[in-house]
Amino acid sequence: NNQSRTKTLLPIIRNIIIAVFAALFGLVLLSELGINVTPLLAGAGVIGVAVGFGAQSFVKDFLSGFTIILEDIVRVGDVVNLGGASGSVEKITLRKIQLRDFAGTVYTIPYSEIKTIQNLTKDFSFYVMDISIAYDTPIDKVIDVLRQVDEDMRKDEAFSFMIIEP
């Protein structure tokens, strides 16, 4: 679904572009005010190396997230199991995934903590229904009624887009 892929990628791309433009704007502004930005850039390089050593898990999260997003493993709206939590993906950044479980709890999981990803809705899904019927009800009648419910739901605009197959 291209819409969910777009919903996943646009906020990430927007944040990257804003950060780059903010940094460039700041440097140009300082330069126009007569401040020599060359020492700032050199200092930023040294600080970047120091921060790089201290931020190994951040870099690991970033690289893992980039790979997961690039390979289109998870999208916003998918139902997944990862990092010991299950739920619907609400937000994806380059460093973490935010899930909401079916009780309403929100989980924020850094990519470095994810060892296995189970995507329950990637181009395929089942919905298991527990339907109670009386013992003396003919099974063929129940199957006919369920097929009719399926047909009615497929015709209803509120549900038809969610149903892949009978």
136 pLDDT more than 70: yes
Taking the C-alpha atoms of residue 98 and residue 100, their distance in angstroms, rounded to an integer, is 7
What pLDDT, on the 0 to 100 scale, is given for residue 1?
A: 62
Tens of pLDDT along 20-67? 899 889 888 988 888 888 887 777 777 777 777 767 777 788 888 888
H runs (alpha helix) in the chain:
2-32, 38-54, 56-70, 139-155, 157-160
Q: Identify the sign of the CA torsion 7, 10, 15, 18.
A: negative
What one-character DSSP code corresponds to residue 107? E
What pLDDT, on the 0 to 100 scale, is given for residue 60?
A: 81
Taking the C-alpha atoms of residue 120 and residue 126, their distance in angstroms, rounded to an integer, is 9
Taking the C-alpha atoms of residue 3 and residue 114, their distance in angstroms, rounded to an integer, is 25
How many CB atoms are closer than 10 A to CB 128?
4
Which pTM does this prediction carry? Answer: 0.52
Average pLDDT, the chain: 84
- Residue 91: phi, psi to the nearest 5? -150, 140
Taking the C-alpha atoms of residue 81 and residue 22, their distance in angstroms, rounded to an integer, is 36
Residues 6 or more apart whose Cβ sits within 8 Å of residue 60: 111, 112
